[in-house]
Amino acid sequence: MFRSPREPRPVRGAAGRRRPDPAVGPLLAGAMAGGIRDIYGHTVTFVPEDLEYVERLFTDLDAGDGFVGDEFTLQSIGCLIGEILVRTDGGRWSLASRRTAVRDHAELEVVLPNGRAVNPIRAAYDRAGRHGESVIRFRELALAS
């Protein structure tokens, strides 16, 4: 494909893959907010209380032998957690400064005013795999100094 010299090149990671744009975070969060509204009738306003519905979603999508949601669902849940950290707690979306996970979509993180960088998408994967804390606890730990 022809690329003009002025056209920006995509950001690529160490393995030559395209790295996600931090603008993806709010977009996927909005998709999940719509899903929560459709499933539970709850309008997400990106406040900490919305995490109760995220926990409920994890419980409802647990088939007993594992989480039945797909990659898009987990990415969107993670971005919803992250967007709450952005809108409520003063964080900002950023590309991860270091490789924090194997999956490309987990290369996004939220940098908080306390200087801590956290990975809410990784937290969603951990919670789905039962390896992590509740998402409510994830937020509490992220905000602890």
Tell me: the pLDDT tens digits for 91-105?
Answer: 999 988 655 444 545
Dihedral over alpha carbons 133, 138, 144, 145 (to 10 degrees): 100
Is residue 22's pLDDT more than 70?
A: yes
Which residue is listed with tokens 């992590």?
A: 132
With respect to residue 8, please indicate whether it lies within any of the assigned structural domains: no
Mean pLDDT confidence for 46-65: 90
Domain count, the chain: 1
Cα–Cα distance, 106 to 103 (Å, whole number) = 6
pLDDT mean across residues, the chain: 82
With respect to residue 7, please indicate whether it lies within any of the assigned structural domains: no
The more confident residue out of 21 and 65 is 21
With respect to residue 107, please indicate whether it lies within any of the assigned structural domains: yes
- Residue 127 near residue 96, CB atoms below 8 Å: no
- Which pLDDT does position 13 carry in this prediction? 45
Share of the chain above pLDDT 70, in %: 78
Question: 44-58, 78-92, 119-133 — which is least confidently predicted?
Answer: 119-133
Q: DSSP states of 14-49 as a string?
A: TTSPBPPPTTHHHHHHHHHHHHHHHHH-PPP-SSGG
With respect to residue 128, please indicate whether it lies within any of the assigned structural domains: yes
Give the helix ranges, DSSP H, for the chain: 24-40, 51-60, 71-89, 120-128, 135-143
CATH number of 44's domain: 1.20.120.1090
3-class secondary-structure state, position 108: strand
With respect to residue 64, please indicate whether it lies within any of the assigned structural domains: yes
pTM of the model: 0.81
Which residue range(s) make up the domain with 102?
Answer: 24-143
Cα–Cα distance, 46 to 43 (Å, whole number) = 9
Mean pLDDT confidence for 113-139: 90
- Which pLDDT does position 17 carry in this prediction? 55
With respect to residue 68, please indicate whether it lies within any of the assigned structural domains: yes
Is residue 77's pLDDT more than 60?
A: yes
Is residue 1's pLDDT more than 80?
A: no
77 Cβ neighbours under 8 A, 6+ residues apart: 32, 54, 57, 58, 69, 124, 135
